[in-house]
């Protein structure tokens, strides 16, 4: 049988993998790289003649995580260095993970450049939960779309159970400073609160449906930045807007804190490495698997996962691979599926991050199809190199590729073949030299042989032939 995939096929596989992995990342990405030295791009022409400059950082969903927090700090620092007039953060976020929340909130509150936070309108039902809502409260200008909501604000950070941050004290302080009804504190901590309820409780909030209406409404308004009153002058004929975005590295790391994405990275990465086990040599699939697992490893270090559940997912995939190697397809398959599904359903330690049932179902079916059908079909293919039939292998020599116990695979003449061990020992380990002495359907029967003895025998035969001449 030929190697499982030719080089071209492997490259196509890698291209499809990379495209699939980056697809969730790309829609929210702007063209700018977002490096600290110059993290933006000019949207409205050359800003050198603009009398008023507004720095805008739109975040297209996801958690407020370390890459996003670093970008927010960079944009605020850039605005201060360049003497910009306003920073606008626009987002919808389900919360924060692995943050130094005190530092982030202090960066916004102490910025000499006013910071406006607009929740929405990046899609219907924008939200600011946990740390995202606290960041909204810390802004000089808290703004919100009509269909958006704030809260619940506890817990502030989903990745830390005992984080030492007092959400209640912070929310109480912010609402008192805004002159809002103290009863609003409990609601914000425990539920999502819409703009109508915020206004009814006396909270001074800007209700706008986008960036342009927000800027128009803020012209001539006096706000507080770093404890000082600042009057905003953002007339459209004087205004220059610079949009920022996460750079490529931060974009990838930000995507790696998306709960379903981390799960898929783990499954795909391990699947590629297990696929490589059945390949002669180490190729593109193995390299892609290592890179995928490296990105997923970052996500596992950020989000709160249930480690025994992660271990069950890994165990399930290993059992699927074992099933492929020994062609069991019975109890092992059932055990693999049970472990994989149980681990997937309990993968994360908080209910807010629980994987949807349809994703678990789809991933499980994909793993089953891949290992039980696709891999088995490929490994059982009878066509050898250049049309070699399995019967032609009798008398040839190969090397054990996966443990023969008693069945597995051998590497022979540049291809993998299904083999059954017939030696005196119970099994043959990887790397054992073997000789094909018979066939049973698509399976070759192998026995051990000593390469040194074979070489010596061939040398003796050659010497005898020379002497006879």
Cα(135)–Cα(174) distance, integer angstroms: 11
Residue 43 has pLDDT above 60, yes or no: no
CATH topology assigned to domain 30-246:
2-enoyl-CoA Hydratase; Chain A, domain 1 (3.90.226)
- Is it true that domain 392-454 has CATH number 3.90.79.10? no
Cis peptide bond prior to 425, omega within 30° of 0: no
Per-residue model confidence as pLDDT tens digits over 314-326: 999 998 888 777 6
Whole-number pLDDT of residue 382: 41
**Better-scored residue on pLDDT, 5 or 209:** 209
Whole-number pLDDT of residue 38: 34
Whole-number pLDDT of residue 45: 40
Rounded to whole angstroms, what are the CA distances from 218 to 128, 143, 242?
A: 22, 11, 17
Residue 145 has pLDDT above 90, yes or no: yes
Instruction: Name residue 419's beta-bridge partners.
Output: 408, 444
Q: Provide the strand spans (E) within 313-424.
A: 397-402, 407-412, 415-421
Residue 351 has pLDDT above 70, yes or no: yes
Cis peptide bond prior to 103, omega within 30° of 0: no
Residue 418 has pLDDT above 90, yes or no: no
Whole-number pLDDT of residue 454: 61
pLDDT bucket at 363, cuts 50 / 70 / 90: very high
% residues pLDDT > 70 (the chain): 79
Whole-number pLDDT of residue 436: 92
pLDDT mean over 455-465: 54
At residue 297, the 3 state secondary structure works out as helix
Whole-number pLDDT of residue 153: 93
Whole-number pLDDT of residue 290: 87
Residue 80 has pLDDT above 90, yes or no: yes
Cα 40-42-48 angle, rounded to 5 deg: 115
Whole-number pLDDT of residue 13: 43
Residue 372 has pLDDT above 50, yes or no: yes
Residue 54 has pLDDT above 60, yes or no: yes
Would you state the structure tokens that stand for residue 166, as one six-digit string? Answer: 């007092």
- pTM exceeds 0.75 for this model: no
Q: Please give the helix or strand (H or E) that residue 207 lies within, else none.
A: strand 206-207
Whole-number pLDDT of residue 425: 86
Cα(90)–Cα(60) distance, integer angstroms: 8
Would you state the structure tokens that stand for residue 457, as one six-digit string? Answer: 């025998």
Alpha helix (H) residue ranges in 202-356: 211-218, 248-255, 259-277, 284-302, 307-326, 331-345
% residues pLDDT > 90 (the chain): 37
Bridge pairing between strands 239-244 and 52-59: parallel
Residues in the chain: 469
Whole-number pLDDT of residue 224: 92
pLDDT mean over 353-363: 91
pLDDT mean over 114-127: 85
pLDDT mean over 248-262: 84
Q: Got the DSSP string for 153-198?
A: --SSBTT-SS----HHHHHHHHHHHHT--TTHHHHHHHS-EEHHHH
Residue 7 has pLDDT above 50, yes or no: no
- Non-local CB neighbours of 143 within 8 Å, separated by 6+ positions: 116, 117, 118, 119, 205, 206, 207, 208, 214
Residue 30 has pLDDT above 60, yes or no: no
Cα(108)–Cα(139) distance, integer angstroms: 6
- Non-local CB neighbours of 75 within 8 Å, separated by 6+ positions: 39, 40, 55, 57, 87, 244
Residue 253 · residue 34 · CB < 8 Å: no
**Better-scored residue on pLDDT, 393 or 286:** 393
Residue 8 has pLDDT above 90, yes or no: no
**Better-scored residue on pLDDT, 90 or 30:** 90
Per-residue model confidence as pLDDT tens digits over 165-189: 889 999 999 999 888 898 999 999 9
Rounded to whole angstroms, what are the CA distances from 59 to 28, 72, 268, 349?
A: 7, 10, 27, 26
Q: Lowest mean pLDDT of 67-71, 113-117, 215-219, 387-391, name the range.
A: 387-391
**Better-scored residue on pLDDT, 12 or 367:** 367
Whole-number pLDDT of residue 31: 32
Would you state the structure tokens that stand for residue 61, as one six-digit string? Answer: 């969903």
Tokens 């030696």, located at residue: 423
Q: Got the DSSP string for 95-159?
A: -B-S--HHHHHHHHHT-SS-EEEEE--SSTT-EE-THHHHHHHHSSEEEE-TT-EE----SSBTT
Rounded to whole angstroms, what are the CA distances from 78 to 31, 43, 47, 86, 90?
A: 18, 17, 14, 11, 17
Q: Lowest mean pLDDT of 4-8, 241-245, 452-456, name the range.
A: 4-8
Q: Got the DSSP string for 48-81?
A: GG-SEEEEEEEE-SS-B-HHHHHHHHHHHHHHHH
Per-residue model confidence as pLDDT tens digits over 441-458: 778 899 998 877 665 555
Whole-number pLDDT of residue 42: 34
Cα(226)–Cα(87) distance, integer angstroms: 13
Long-range residue pairs from 220-223, CB within 8 A, at least 24 positions apart, any chain: 221/141, 223/114, 223/140, 223/141
Per-residue model confidence as pLDDT tens digits over 276-299: 776 655 567 778 888 888 888 888
Whole-number pLDDT of residue 1: 35
Rounded to whole angstroms, what are the CA distances from 454 to 152, 392, 397, 429?
A: 75, 20, 11, 20
Whole-number pLDDT of residue 23: 44
Whole-number pLDDT of residue 170: 92
Closest residue by Cα to residue 286 from 14, 7, 48, 86:
14
> If you average pLDDT over every residue of the chain, what do you get?
80
Whole-number pLDDT of residue 27: 35
Whole-number pLDDT of residue 47: 59
């Amino acid at each position: 049988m030929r190697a499982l995939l030719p080089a071209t096929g492997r490259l196509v596989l890698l291209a499809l993998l990379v495209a699939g992995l980056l697809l969730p990342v790309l829609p929210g990405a702007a063209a700018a790289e977002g490096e600290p030295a110059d993290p933006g791009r000019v949207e409205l022409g050359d800003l050198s003649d603009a009398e008023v400059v507004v720095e805008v950082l739109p975040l297209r969903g996801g958690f407020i995580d370390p890459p996003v927090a670093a970008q927010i700090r960079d944009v605020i620092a850039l605005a201060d260095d360049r003497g910009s007039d306003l920073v606008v953060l626009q987002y919808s976020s389900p919360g924060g993970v692995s943050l130094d929340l005190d530092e982030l909130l202090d960066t916004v509150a102490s910025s000499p450049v006013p910071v406006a936070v607009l929740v929405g309108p990046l899609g219907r039902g924008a939200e600011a939960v946990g740390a995202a809502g606290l960041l909204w409260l810390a802004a000089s200008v808290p703004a919100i779309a009509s269909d958006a909501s704030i809260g619940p604000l506890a817990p502030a950070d989903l990745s830390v159970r005992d984080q030492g941050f007092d959400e209640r004290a912070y929310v109480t302080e912010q609402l008192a400073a805004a002159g809002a009804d103290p009863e609003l504190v409990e609601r914000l901590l425990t539920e999502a609160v819409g703009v109508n309820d915020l206004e009814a409780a006396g909270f001074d909030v800007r209700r706008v449906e986008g960036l342009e209406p927000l800027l128009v409404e803020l012209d001539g308004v006096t706000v507080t930045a770093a404890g000082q009153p600042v009057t905003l002058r953002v007339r459209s004929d004087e205004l220059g807007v610079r949009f920022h975005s996460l750079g490529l590295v931060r974009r990838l790391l930000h995507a790696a804190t998306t709960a379903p994405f981390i799960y898929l990275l783990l499954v795909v990465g391990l699947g590629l490495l297990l696929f490589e086990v059945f390949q002669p040599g180490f190729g593109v699939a193995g390299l892609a698997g290592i890179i995928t697992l490296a990105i997923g490893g970052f996500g596992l270090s950020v989000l709160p996962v249930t480690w025994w559940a992660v271990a069950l997912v890994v165990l399930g995939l290993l059992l699927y691979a074992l099933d492929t190697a020994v062609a069991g397809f019975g109890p092992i398959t059932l055990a693999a599926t049970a472990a994989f599904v149980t681990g997937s359903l309990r993968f994360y330690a908080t209910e807010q991050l629980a994987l949807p049932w349809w994703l678990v179902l789809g991933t499980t079916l994909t793993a089953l199809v891949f290992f039980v059908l696709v891999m088995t079909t490929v490994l059982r293919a009878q066509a050898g190199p250049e049309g070699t039939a399995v019967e032609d292998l009798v008398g040839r020599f190969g090397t054990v590729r996966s443990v023969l116990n008693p069945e597995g695979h051998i590497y022979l003449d540049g291809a993998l073949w299904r083999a059954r061990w017939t030696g005196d020992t119970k099994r043959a380990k990887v790397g054992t030299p073997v000789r094909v002495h018979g066939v049973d359907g698509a399976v070759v029967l192998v026995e051990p042989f000593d390469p040194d003895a074979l070489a010596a025998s061939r040398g003796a035969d050659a010497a005898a032939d020379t002497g006879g001449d």
